[in-house]
Amino acid sequence: MTVQIDTQRTIDLLTQLVQIDSVNPSLVSDGSGEGEIASFVHSVLCDAGVEATLEQVLPGRPNVIGRMPGTGEGSTLLLNAHLDTVSVAGMEDPFSARISDGKLYGRGAWDTKAGLAAGLSVLLALADEKVSLPGGLVLLGAIDEEHGSEGTQAFLNDAEVDGCIILEPTSLDLWVAHGGFAWGEIETKGVAAHGSLPDVGVDAITKMGHILHQAEGLRQRLRLTRSFEPPLGGETMLPSLHASTIEGGREWSSYPDRCLLRLERRMIPGETQQDVEREMDELLSGLARNDPQLRASWRFSMVRPPWQAEKGPLFTALETACRAQLGHAPGRSAGLMWTDAALTQQAGIPTVIIGPKGDGKHAVVEYVELDSVVTCARILLDTALRFCPQSR
Ligand SMILES: [Zn+2]
């Protein structure tokens, strides 16, 4: 039996995926969402004779799932690529899927439709040859990874898989650790008053200025005092904190009665939601001790845990497949990005992350190197052929 990735079909699939607008509507209010791209993937799978379903997660926003059941007691592998993209603001021709010099351009080309095309190609290659593995192979096209990860969370409610490969733009490195994040909102309350009444008005924006100043101090302390060395290699990780948006005030001549700051705290492995809670409480209570007029509160709007890879059968299978297909050991990398790997691993599924090579994720010029998409597909196929026969 020879199962082979069809190079031209992989490129054609990627072209079609990039040509479909799938901007996440939770990020951009008029974003098209994942409905059309999910239907496209669904029809590609059905045409190839692969069992496929669309599962509504949010209105008009379904996950698409392809399943190739195993023939025996082998391990089931999940290939997970998100369907959504970030906004196309500032891009010249985001859905052209123009190919030039071996690179395919467009929003989502690298993040992560190339990974999706590679995963899809693996299922099609097996279907072409009517090969069934001892364990199952599942492809999840997940909605909403760029915002609230509703797609992967919904899938995990009843997932029965033994390992997961998250397909993200890693440039064919293995990502071995990534950050978590906490999105917080701080609100200061002032007293609205005419600008001519300084004894009455309390300026909520200036109060927030004091908080911002403290937050900058906290950021510097965090980066000097905390770090994480991923045991499987890759870069040293430091935590971070930054302001995201700020709003407040009504007009020139009035004391502002409210100011709202949104901020993001990126966490390194080992840090938890409780650590961030403590920092926020201490920051505000420290200021309040010296300023009886300060009325400030904070809350989380979303928290996602950090992630680190663990050695095990899937990690070994993927690394061995990389060596076989690349001719050398893959690089190992770590950083403060976030992926759905944190959710799958939290659900008890050993998870690894890999994807093709390119540049410009979330930027105005995004591309993927086509060779690397095909190589990625070969690595995934090779990994499945090594992992799925192993007993659970
Ligand atoms: Zn992504």
Q: What is the mean pLDDT of each run of 10 residues along the chain (392 residues)?
A: 92 98 96 98 98 98 97 96 97 97 98 98 97 96 96 95 98 97 98 97 98 98 97 96 97 98 98 97 97 97 95 97 97 96 96 98 97 98 97 86
The predicted model scores a pTM of: 0.93
Residue 149, C-beta contacts closer than 8 angstroms, at least 6 positions apart: 142, 304, 340, 343
- Position 2 scores a pLDDT of 86
Between the CA of 23 and the centroid of ligand 1 the distance, in Å, is 12
Say if residues 77 and 388 touch (Cβ distance below 8 Å).
Answer: yes
Cis peptide before 112, with omega less than 30 degrees from 0? Answer: yes
Which two tokens mark 128? 């072409």
Between the CA of 348 and the centroid of ligand 1 the distance, in Å, is 21
Between the CA of 82 and the centroid of ligand 1 the distance, in Å, is 7
Per DSSP, 109 falls in state I
Say if residues 367 and 105 touch (Cβ distance below 8 Å).
Answer: yes
Alpha-carbon dihedral sign for residues 371, 145, 18, 350: positive
Between the CA of 356 and the centroid of ligand 1 the distance, in Å, is 12
Burial class of residue 363 in the structure, from the number of CB atoms within 10 Å of its CB (0-12 exposed, 13-18 middle, 19+ buried): middle
Helix or strand run (H / E) with residue 185: strand 180-189
Say if residues 335 and 235 touch (Cβ distance below 8 Å).
Answer: yes
Please provide the distance, in angstroms rounded to a whole number, between the alpha carbons at the two ends of the chain: 24
Give the strand pairing for 307-308 and 137-142.
Answer: unpaired
Give the strand pairing for 163-167 and 351-354.
Answer: parallel
How far is the C-alpha of 214 from the C-alpha of 283, rounded, in Å? 7
User: CA dist 93 to 23, 82, 105, 282, Å?
Assistant: 14, 21, 9, 47
Between the CA of 67 and the centroid of ligand 1 the distance, in Å, is 22
Q: Hey, which residues does 298 pair with through a beta bridge?
A: 186
Between the CA of 381 and the centroid of ligand 1 the distance, in Å, is 21
Between the CA of 290 and the centroid of ligand 1 the distance, in Å, is 44
Q: Rg of the Cα trace of the chain? A: 24
How far is the C-alpha of 8 from the C-alpha of 315, rounded, in Å? 29
Between the CA of 125 and the centroid of ligand 1 the distance, in Å, is 24
Between the CA of 296 and the centroid of ligand 1 the distance, in Å, is 35
How far is the C-alpha of 143 from the C-alpha of 38, rounded, in Å? 9
- Position 1 scores a pLDDT of 56
Between the CA of 146 and the centroid of ligand 1 the distance, in Å, is 7
